[in-house]
Chains A and B, each alone.
Chain A
Amino acid sequence: MDLGSSFIAAIRWQDAVDILLNSYILFRLYVLFRGTNVIRVIVGIAFLWVFQRVAVAMGLIVTSWAMQGIIAGAALIIIIVFRNEIRSVLQAKNLRGLLWGFPYAAERPPLEVISESVYELARRRIGALIVLPAKDDLEDTCQGGLAWKGQLSKEMLLSIFWNGNPVHDGAVVLQGRQVQQVGTILPLSKREDLPSYYGTRHRAAVGLAEVSDALVVVVSEERGQVVVAKGGELLPIQDNLQLEEILANHGARGLHPRAESWRDKLELGTAALVSTICVLGIWFSFARGLETFTSLEIPIEYMNRSSSMEIFGASVNTINLNLSGSGALIRSLNPDQVKVKLDLSRAKVGPNSYTITREDIDLPPGINLKSVAPATVEVTLDVPVEKELPIQADWSGKLPENLILESVKLVPERVRVVGGSQILKEIDTLYTDKLPLNTLKTSGAMTTRLALQPGTLKIADGARDKVVVRFTLRERRVR
Chain B
Amino acid sequence: MQTHFHIQRVRIAGLIMLLVLSLPVSTWTADRPLNLAEAVMCEGVRDLAPLNPAAVFSIATGKVSCFSNFDTVPSQSYIYHHWYHRDKLSTKKKLFLKPPSWSTYSSIQLREADKGPWRVEITDDKGTLFATLRFSVTD
**In the bound complex, how far is the Cα of B136 from the Cα of A396, in angstroms?**
8
Residues of B within 8 A of A437 (CB): 56, 138
Contact with A along B71-85 (1 / 0, CB 8 A): 000000000000010
> Does A426 reach chain B (CB closer than 8 Å)?
yes
Q: Is A158 an interface residue (CB 8 A)?
A: no
Once A404-B54, A408-B55, A477-B52 are accepted as A-B contacts, the answer to whether A398 and B138 lie under 8 Å apart by CB is yes
Of the candidates B84, B116, B117, B132, the one having the most CB atoms from chain A within 10 angstroms of its own CB is B117
Q: Which residues of B contact A479 (CB under 8 A)?
A: 51-52
B63, CB-defined interface residue at 8 Å: no
Quick one: which of A376-399 are within 8 Å of B by CB? 390, 392-399
Determine the distance from Cα of A330 to Cα of B134 in the docked complex, in whole angstroms. 60
Q: Tell me how many residue pairs across A and B have CB atoms closer than 8 Å.
A: 58
B101 interfacial by beta-carbon distance below 8 Å: no
Query: Closest approach, in angstroms, between the C-beta of A164 and any C-beta of chain B?
Result: 123
B87 within 8 A of A: yes
Interface size classification for chain A: 20 to 34
- Alpha-carbon gap, A476 to B132, bound state (A): 24
**Contact A398-B139, Cβ < 8 Å, known A392-B119, A429-B119:** yes
User: In whole angstroms, what is the CA distance A134 to B135 when docked?
Assistant: 109
B58 close to chain A: CB less than 8 A: yes
Q: How far is the CA of A441 from the CA of B2 in the complex (A)?
A: 71
Q: Of residues B84, B86, B115, which shows the largest number of chain A Cβ atoms within 10 Å of its Cβ?
A: B86
Do residues A394 and B116 form an inter-chain contact, with CB atoms below 8 A? yes
CA distance A396 to B51 in the complex (A): 22
A431 contacts partner chain B, Cβ-Cβ < 8 Å = yes
From residue B96, how far is it (CB to closest CB) to chain A in Å? 27
Kindly identify, within residues 48 to 73 of chain B, every residue whose CB is under 8 Å from any CB belonging to chain A: 51-56, 58
With A and B bound together, what is the CA distance between A437 and B51 in angstroms? 21
Who on chain B is nearest to A428 by CB?
B87
Shortest CB distance B23–A (Å): 41
Bound-complex Cα distance A436 to B134 (A): 17
A392 touches B134 (CB 8 A): yes
Instruction: Tell me whether A407 is interfacial, beta carbon within 8 Å.
Output: yes
Contact between chains at A407 and B51 (CB < 8 Å):
no
Are B117 and A429 in contact, with the CB atoms below 8 A? yes
What is the minimal beta-carbon distance from A205 to any residue of chain B, in angstroms?
112
When chains A and B are docked, how far (Å) is the Cα of A476 from the Cα of B117? 22
A201 → B minimal CB distance (Å): 117
Specify which of B54, B87, B139 is in contact with A406 (CB 8 Å cutoff): B54
Q: Which of A394, A427, A428 contacts B136, CB < 8 Å?
A: A394
Q: Is A405 an interface residue (CB 8 A)?
A: yes
Are B117 and A406 within 8 A (Cβ)?
no
Given contacts A395-B136, A397-B139, A398-B139, is CB(A407)–CB(B55) below 8 Å?
yes
State which residues 12-57 of B face A: CB under 8 Å: 51-56
**Distance (whole angstroms) from the CB of A235 to the closest CB of chain B:** 113
- What per-residue 1/0 map shows which CB atoms of A394-426 lie under 8 Å from chain B? 111111000011111000000000000000001
In the complex, are the beta carbons of B51 and A429 less than 8 A apart?
no
Closest partner residue, chain A, to B52 (CB atom) = A404
CA distance A408 to B58 in the complex (A): 16
List 9 A-B pairs, minimum CB-CB distance, nearest first: A395-B136, A405-B56, A398-B139, A408-B55, A404-B54, A392-B134, A394-B117, A395-B56, A392-B117
- Name 21 A/B residue pairs within 8 A (Cβ), A-sorted: A390-B132, A393-B117, A396-B115, A396-B138, A396-B139, A398-B139, A399-B56, A399-B58, A404-B56, A405-B54, A405-B56, A406-B54, A407-B55, A408-B134, A426-B87, A429-B86, A429-B119, A431-B86, A437-B138, A477-B52, A479-B51
**Which residues in A have some Cβ–Cβ distance to B below 8 Å?**
390, 392-399, 404-408, 426-429, 431, 437, 471, 476-477, 479
Apart from the given pairs A393-B136, A397-B139, 10 other A-B contacts in the complex at a CB distance below 8 Å: A395-B117, A395-B138, A396-B136, A397-B138, A399-B138, A406-B53, A427-B87, A429-B119, A476-B52, A479-B51
